[in-house]
Structure 1
Amino acid sequence: MNNLVKDKDMYIDIGRDGEIITNSVLTKYDWPPVDPRVGAIKERMLSDEDTNMLSAASEPYRFNSRSFITASNGSSVSVVLLELLNHRAFQFNCRERFRQCADIVGQIDAACEESRPIEIVIPIFCVINNPVKRLQPTLVTAGEEVSLRYLGEITKIIRTIYPIGVIFHVVSDSTFYALPFGVTSVEAQNYIRSLRNCVVSLGLDHCINVHDMSDIMAPHLDKFQERFNYWWRKLLRDPFADGISKVSYGQWLASAMASINTRRMGLDYEEMRAIFGGESQFAQGNYKAGKIYEMAQKGLAEYRSLKAAIADIRWNALCFPGAIRATIHTKGGPVLGLRIYPEYKYGSTLLPYHGIAVLTYSEKAGRYRMSIQPELLVLGRHNVVRVVNNEGVTWFYQEIH
């Protein structure tokens, strides 16, 4: 491990550099000419056999343990762990920067020397109430289940090399971003509760801890609130105050429009297609489109202020000292860009809560693969069957041939 880079400001780079909001605009999809909700849809109940399908979809098939171990022969355990996390099957950010970051190397070395689990902290899982992305309120469905199963699969692989294992600190920002995304505290709390229940039901509570970002920030209220107020005043007055480019701001604003709670507005299909489908720029002249645009501007300022505030107080070092920081966003700095499910940032770009799971059988892989797609637009296809659980919640869609 020569030429290690010691980056004192690594955390700030992680928090505020590169992508800060998922690119989840809906203009790139094919929109049916008529509302797909009015047509018939094939449907079946969730069955025990579906467990095998979801389990297969969560396996990191791009990682070959035998080949990896053979290539790692002679290396120390800490080096092997570093390279495992940095494997392209799991890591989508810059591998060289991650490999050469002294802080990350030191975190792994320290855990091994002290015979304690490797700890990884990742903020993820939020309520997104765009009615194009999900027809029902945002609940834990197959997308979240496969993602949690996938983290469990990673822990199994790590234990073959380092029996003490790994702990994933999953920090849900559902309540934390309720303000900019316009969701109620009831929805946000329910989502976190169902995440925790899912972890337990999958038998993964030994390696996955689900935290509430608002809860872990509460003891640091004074510092957090001061920084949030500072950034809120600054960014609401001037959205470019932190040096963001106009191109990036436009992209983030478009994603914010597709992420805030528009379900409460009662949009009909033509309005959704005009506003989110890109038929005209922000559906000029439409009153509801104008209100959504205003909400997105304010919401993005609030979102960025919240993000900047916790970056300023270095929340993960404060709350999870010694843990490796992971992210779901593309970053330029040394950070673990964790594929939260096997196809993330490969054949699928949306996070589990920005759409619904679609399972497709791959002849080449000989297994089902999961992608996340906007549910309303999946509904308009003729080659899918909707799979619902006993409570009537849509769990996923299965492609049929």
Structure 2
Amino acid sequence: MSNQGYVAGGHELGTSEPTDLTKLESGALARGHHSYVEVGRRGEIISDCKLGKRYRWPATDPRQQQRRVRVASEADARMVKRASITPHFSPGSFFEANRGNPVDLQVLELLNHRAFQFNSRRRFRESPVWRERISAACKDQRPVEIVVPVFCVVANPVKRLQSTVATAAEDVSLLHLGNLANLVSEVYAPGAVFHVVTDSTFYSMPFQVTSVEAQRYVSLLRARVAALELSASVRIHDMSDVLAEHGSAFYRRFEGRRQEFLNNALADGISRDSYEGWLSSMKASMNTRDLSLSYDKLRDTFGAEGGSLSGALDERARNALAEYRALKAAAADLQWEERAFPGAIRATIHSKNIPVLGLRIYPEYKFRSTLLPYHGIGAISSSEETGRCVLKIEPEMFLCGDPEYTRVIDSQGKTLFYHRSSDQ
């Protein structure tokens, strides 16, 4: 990632580095940007992605069952594009209802529509920060910028049977963002730009994947943006590049935060229940392929509380969670969003009780599907009768043996998604 745009308060990042947080927070970055810092600290910080009670684990290893497979065709590519169009938004109804409103308010209400926003719409609407930023963009006739950290490598062997690469789920997500940017351009000609900040390399340490895997995922995402012709409205950035501009200050804060969380798991005032939930989700996010667990061991470990390996994995997960929280907190301390993307709208993929855009990263996210694209594999249901295609994300272990689904692969054998036709 280039240094272009890395300017805040008139200074290039990396040219001067505040030595303590007090100096940082007393400067221009702190004025009016409290919401930015709080996004990284408050509310959900790791997705609820546990593999226990919500899933029905097959009695025997589904990977050993015969399954239908086909190589992807042009019809499948069209299906993926249809799955990126949200059924929860009617452009005609929205534009008619907002026709008389100022342009900046129309843009705010569009982003805040329940088809795209899952956090509190009232809080987002009433916060003066976000409308002011949209108004400033409209005044300058420049695109409205939205920054969202998302997309990393999760190598849990239940969630994906192959290595984590860009699949149809990532395509649907990127296309969905492009669709929203196009809708913005219908009410405001310069439109919107989504700065997708992938945290693949940033979280590779707690998720226990190699830097090679993490960097490959970033490269593949960039390639998909180009192939889908989304470069004008969707831009991929690497979180590690963003924070490298202030590496020394970040590392000092990370080390302090990590020790704090190792010494006191309930630091930052979280409840014991919240911590235990985060711990279970972290355990289900880590790479455990090195353990070469049999199906029965996987089910015992992830499918229920306890299990013969639970104690060892819990300790591994506790250390990983402390690292994950420390990375997130250190980045929040440095107000990375405002440094790298001054004037942008802050979006998140997590549930928060503060004014922030909770972005549905694909149409059914937090409607009928709870997992992020890289916490499973895409399951697309289609109907020739209605023309509708719906993407949900499921752990691949629970799809691969389902006789209702066909595995769709590319020419190299990589799984792109699983398809179920309601007309079969």
Determine the C-alpha separation between the residues in 1 that align with 2:32 and 2:144. 21
Determine the C-alpha separation between the residues in 2 that align with 1:377 and 1:396. 13
Is the 8 Å Cα contact of residues 172 and 362 (structure 2) preserved in structure 1?
yes
Q: Does 1:259 pair with 2:312?
A: no
Residue ranges of structure 2 left out of the alignment (5+ in a row):
1-30
Q: Does 1:11 pair with 2:32?
A: no
Structure 2 partner of 1:127: 153
Determine the C-alpha separation between the residues in 2 that align with 1:204 and 1:87. 22
Q: Does 1:20 pair with 2:20?
A: no
Taking structure 1 as the reference length, the TM-score comes to: 0.95
Is the 8 Å Cα contact of residues 156 and 284 (structure 2) preserved in structure 1?
yes
Structure 2 partner of 1:3: none
Q: How far 1:74 moved relative to its partner? A: 1.2
Structure 2 partner of 1:373: 394
My pick for the range that moved more, 119-128 or 217-226, is 217-226
Taking structure 2 as the reference length, the TM-score comes to: 0.90
Is the 8 Å Cα contact of residues 116 and 360 (structure 2) preserved in structure 1?
yes
Structure 2 partner of 1:282: 306
Q: RMSD of the TM alignment (CA)? A: 1.3
| Paired residues for 1:4-83 under 5 Å | 9-27=34-52, 28-83=54-109
**Residue deviations 1:110-165 (CA, integer Å, cap 9, x gap):** 00000100000000000000010000000000000100011111111111111111
Q: Does 1:304 pair with 2:325?
A: yes
My pick for the range that moved more, 155-164 or 269-278, is 155-164
Q: How far 1:230 moved relative to its partner? A: 1.1
Q: Does 1:390 pair with 2:411?
A: yes
| Paired residues for 1:147-166 under 5 Å | 147-166=173-192
Count of residue pairs brought into register by the alignment: 391
Give the counterpart of 1:343 among 364, 371, 374: 364
Which runs of at least 4 in structure 1 moved beyond 4 Å after TM superposition? 362-365
Is the 8 Å Cα contact of residues 282 and 293 (structure 1) preserved in structure 2?
no
Is the 8 Å Cα contact of residues 7 and 101 (structure 1) preserved in structure 2?
no
Sequence identity, in percent? 48
Determine the C-alpha separation between the residues in 2 that align with 1:193 and 1:136. 18
Q: Does 1:140 pair with 2:166?
A: yes
Q: Helix, strand or coil for the counterpart of 1:282? A: coil
Q: How far 1:364 moved relative to its partner? A: 9.0
Q: Does 1:216 pair with 2:237?
A: no
Residue ranges of structure 1 left out of the alignment (5+ in a row):
1-5
Q: How far 1:223 moved relative to its partner? A: 1.5
Determine the C-alpha separation between the residues in 2 that align with 1:212 and 1:73. 38
Q: Helix, strand or coil for the counterpart of 1:126? A: coil
My pick for the range that moved more, 364-373 or 65-74, is 364-373
**Residue deviations 1:23-56 (CA, integer Å, cap 9, x gap):** 0001111110000111101100000111110111
Q: Helix, strand or coil for the counterpart of 2:130? A: helix
Determine the C-alpha separation between the residues in 2 that align with 1:361 and 1:301. 41
Determine the C-alpha separation between the residues in 2 that align with 1:226 and 1:245. 26
Q: Helix, strand or coil for the counterpart of 2:179? A: helix
Q: How far 1:7 moved relative to its partner? A: 6.3
Is the 8 Å Cα contact of residues 66 and 401 (structure 2) preserved in structure 1?
no
Q: Does 1:179 pair with 2:205?
A: yes
Q: How far 1:226 moved relative to its partner? A: 1.4
Is the 8 Å Cα contact of residues 173 and 362 (structure 2) preserved in structure 1?
yes
Is the 8 Å Cα contact of residues 362 and 369 (structure 1) preserved in structure 2?
no
Give the counterpart of 1:293 among 283, 301, 314: 314
